Structure 1
Amino acid sequence: MKKTLLKTLAVGFMLTAMTSAVFGAGGVEQQKKDVTINMFQLKVEIKDALDAYAASYSTAHPGVTVKVETLGGGGDYGGAMKAKAQAGQMPDIFMIEGRGGYDIWKDYVADLSDQPWVKDTDLAFKADGKVVGFPVAIEGYGLAYNADILQKAGIDPATLTTRAAYEKALKILDSKKAELGIDAPVAMAASVAGGMWWVAAQHNLAAYWGGGLDFNDTSIIEKALKGQLDDARFLQYTKYLQLLFKYADKKILLNGSYDDQVGSFAQGKTAFLHQGNWVDPNLKQLGVTFKIGYAPHAFLDTEEKGLYLFAPSWYCVNAKSPNAEAAKAFLTSIATTPEGHDYMVNKAGMIPAFKSVTLKPSGQLSQALMEANAKGGNYGVFFGMLPDGAGQNVFGPIFDLFAQNPDNVDQFIADMKRAVANLPNM
């Protein structure tokens, strides 16, 4: 008994000595464990800038390493996330694009309500009475135009506020292709196989959900979530989409990649580009010097002058991760430090969602959005309210089929009516 007690005491003294060596006499940790923050994000256009910021943050914070994995450009981010979850490899920071994504991952989403950046933005993602998403940026779009080409064709972009005005302009451009040195009036992609379904079936379809309405008016998409299309409004939208498809470069429309689409516009081979301000860094890399602006997606018979503005995605912190606090600190650095502000505006070319940021983006499309935001009268973007997978798996193939035969309006409308009727069952 005594021997056992003596052995126990001896082991106890040894453990005490070892603990003092590591934590100090007061039991407070002196050597912090190294932390690796794994971030999984889908915005391929900011990959290089984000990788560089993560590297500089890691250098400035010894013991912390931020690793960024990017899957975008039409890749199945949601599917990849589910695979990571099944493999027990959930990232410390991941992205959602709206309510559909939140509903899938809410068991993993940390409460960020107490974070210092929350009071500095109006675009944090809120659910179940909590702030759960860090807004990546303000994004937006209209129909981007090459001002030089339009001027040569005698088209004033300020007049492009109705579908009839677009029809007239597109016919002029098409008739002067050789003279203007363009392959087609429009660079737009719609291919599901090419991963470009989101251009038409998400961003263009957003015009039907919110165009011409008050910024916060969700009545049209709420109607769709109950299974109904607004027939008169959708017919006007279909006629506008038909115009874009008819006057688009067919190779890009049916088989083109993101690079094909942006590259065609950058080389002056198309007058219009159906993309958002996130292409600013790409256009800079491609050496674009011509003047660029945004015209509205004016699909109605009545005038529309606004652009589409939204926070398209949010960073969430994995509540189950042992590195959750370090992940929160990394996000806070983006929102609250000069280095973070420089990354968002100057390096990634984004419009920050935080009011304290005073830097102005250099990209022409981002500048156009900031001007539109200051002017007001813009439209909301509501595809984030749709069930998960609706854009890619339901609407994407229908838009792809219509792109292949833009004359088949009746088939497109019938397919969309069936798809919308089934939304309540998703």
Structure 2
Amino acid sequence: MKKIIALCLAGVMTASALAGCGSNNAASSGGASGNKAAANGSKKGVEISMLNSKGEIQSGLEDIASAYEAKTGVKIDVMACGAGESPYTKLTSMYNSGSAPTMSIVDPTDVMALAKSKATDLSGEKWTSECKDTAWKVDGKVYSFPLCIEGSGLIYNKEAIEKTLKTTFDPNSINSYDALKNLLEKLRAGGMQYPVVISKEDWSLGSHQLGMVYNTYDGTQAGSAKLINNLKAGTAKMETTKRFDQFTHTLDLLLAYNVNHADPLGAIYEQDPTYLVDEKAAIWFNGDWAWPNLKDAGAKTSDKYGFLPYVLSNDTSDFANTKMQASSSKQIMIDKQQASADQVQAAKDFLNWLVYDKEAQKMLTEKCALIPACKNNPNSATDPLSRDIQAKQKAGKTYNCAYIAPGDHWKVLGADMQKYIAHKETKAQLAAAIDKYWTSQK
């Protein structure tokens, strides 16, 4: 995607969320509204497809698709995007080959790039009334369904910290750089030599970690767009950007305690969560989407995991030090170019079913472990990470900003971030690479 579209968050998106699945029994699955939505317009025997770029919910989505087919006769083929594959690249390739999916789970960046040319206008759909605060808009129109709210920060294992320190731990006490540094020093002194896990994946480094610089400019969508536009124009330089200096300062601290310090680029993502579960480490930069990985490593929903802010200074009044980033990330678009009228209607009915059917609402949280984006879903998140985000949202301890960047941003600059954590690129070189990337955008 070549063009960056700056959106003011007010009136566009003020919260975030995640979503899920369905049932076999039309009489007992609840929502009369959900049943009507599923029945209206869709023809039994219609087949539609969905491209899934959120790999950790693949099995949950397949369960949802099976439940929906049992209820309506509409078959949904859930196709997984390849690991590490850009959703934008995958989707545009499918369009070019004439095999575009009926629905696509993509990032907001992709919605901004493809909405007008590829996506069905969903502004008139019933569910929009339940998702006013989480639906993205392009020129005032809704082209995608907000599947979920996701947040990122420093995941912590409370029990691992308390066992090592031999005292209680209050996560609210970590509200500054020095507070984080002091915690890491105490953990090392207590026998946990390397209490931090830094994963090497380009999407983690180039999108989520580096993204902290844009998102914390002032915590708003408009603020992140202002910084990005200034970088594009060359009127701002990353090396002299205050947030970049703070970000690299904190990243350097985390790297000094990285369990993967001996070979940062040799880290294995599947192994990273085991360090937390086995209490060999206590902190892992990631998002709530990492819960399935922790669960596979042996974590239980009763365990005490949560998020610490990615602290950026010693100013305890700075929102970045007391709040965490959370926003409606994954979005579902419906194709308008290659799908038939029956397929488009079936996809629309499916989305309304997700929003209004009681069992579908439940499946989103239980099968997919998502934080619902629509306000009418009464179900609480089922895993510790998502529960912590929901609690922070209710307490006003989240900021809602998700910067908009070209589809190759995370991969291009993720490579430079990998060089940085491997000490093969200096702070100045990283800043120069970021400047070069943005000034090349038109």
Matching of residue 90 in structure 1 with residue 90 in structure 2: no
Q: Distance in 1 between matches of 2:100 and 2:218?
A: 39
Correspondence 1:232-251 to 2 at 5 A:
232-250=242-260
Q: Distance in 2 between matches of 1:333 and 1:221?
A: 38
1:359 to 369, 379, 385: 379
Match of 1:120 in 2: 130
Q: Distance in 2 between matches of 1:98 and 1:252?
A: 33
Q: Distance in 1 between matches of 2:44 and 2:397?
A: 51
Match of 2:269 in 1: 258
Letter in 2 for 1:84: M
Letter in 1 for 2:364: M
Match of 1:109 in 2: 119
Letter in 2 for 1:396: G
1:403 to 421, 425, 429: 421
Match of 2:326 in 1: 309
TM value normalised by structure 1? 0.83
Matching of residue 389 in structure 1 with residue 394 in structure 2: no
Match of 2:394 in 1: 374
Residue 292 of structure 1 and its aligned partner are, at CA, apart by: 1.1
Higher Rg? 1
1:269 to 280, 289, 296: 280
Report Cα offsets for 1:279-338 as digits up to 9, x if no partner. Answer: 223333433143112110011231210011111121000012111111111111111111
Match of 2:210 in 1: 205
Matching of residue 138 in structure 1 with residue 149 in structure 2: yes
Matching of residue 161 in structure 1 with residue 161 in structure 2: no
Residue 156 of structure 1 and its aligned partner are, at CA, apart by: 4.2
1:66 to 50, 69, 76: 76
Instruction: Flag the 1:152–1:418 CA change in 2: closer, same or farther, 3 A.
Output: same
Q: Distance in 2 between matches of 1:252 and 1:60?
A: 51
Match of 2:437 in 1: 419
Q: Distance in 2 between matches of 1:33 and 1:293?
A: 44
Q: Which has the higher contact order (CA 8 A, sep 6+)?
A: 2
Residue 100 of structure 1 and its aligned partner are, at CA, apart by: 4.4
Answer whether contact 2:243 2:312 (CA < 8 A) is retained.
no
Q: Distance in 1 between matches of 2:217 and 2:308?
A: 14
2:233 to 212, 219, 226: 226
Secondary structure at the aligned position of 2:369 is classed as: coil
2:312 to 296, 299, 302: 299
Q: Percent identity?
A: 24
Residue 406 of structure 1 and its aligned partner are, at CA, apart by: 7.6
Q: Which moved more, 1:224-233 or 1:308-317?
A: 224-233
Instruction: Flag the 1:372–1:406 CA change in 2: closer, same or farther, 3 A.
Output: farther
Q: Distance in 1 between matches of 2:310 and 2:84?
A: 22
Number of positions where the alignment pairs a residue of Structure 1 with one of Structure 2: 382
Residue 78 of structure 1 and its aligned partner are, at CA, apart by: 2.4
Gaps of 5+ in 2: 1-41
Match of 2:22 in 1: none
Q: Distance in 1 between matches of 2:56 and 2:91?
A: 19
Instruction: Flag the 1:252–1:87 CA change in 2: closer, same or farther, 3 A.
Output: farther
Q: Distance in 2 between matches of 1:73 and 1:242?
A: 28
Answer whether contact 1:125 1:132 (CA < 8 A) is retained.
yes
Instruction: Flag the 1:419–1:244 CA change in 2: closer, same or farther, 3 A.
Output: farther
Answer whether contact 1:140 1:308 (CA < 8 A) is retained.
yes
Matching of residue 77 in structure 1 with residue 87 in structure 2: yes
Instruction: Flag the 1:302–1:392 CA change in 2: closer, same or farther, 3 A.
Output: same
Match of 2:162 in 1: 151
Instruction: Flag the 1:212–1:171 CA change in 2: closer, same or farther, 3 A.
Output: farther
Aligned-pair RMSD on alpha carbons?
2.3
Secondary structure at the aligned position of 2:271 is classed as: helix
1:341 to 351, 361, 384: 361
Report Cα offsets for 1:187-225 as digits up to 9, x if no partner. Answer: 2212xxxxx211121111222112373445434344334
Secondary structure at the aligned position of 1:67 is classed as: strand
Q: Distance in 2 between matches of 1:36 and 1:369?
A: 36
Residue 33 of structure 1 and its aligned partner are, at CA, apart by: 6.6
Instruction: Flag the 1:368–1:252 CA change in 2: closer, same or farther, 3 A.
Output: farther
Moved segments of 4+, more than 6 Å: none
Letter in 2 for 1:288: A
Instruction: Flag the 1:33–1:53 CA change in 2: closer, same or farther, 3 A.
Output: closer
Instruction: Flag the 1:99–1:408 CA change in 2: closer, same or farther, 3 A.
Output: closer
Match of 1:42 in 2: 53
Answer whether contact 2:43 2:346 (CA < 8 A) is retained.
no
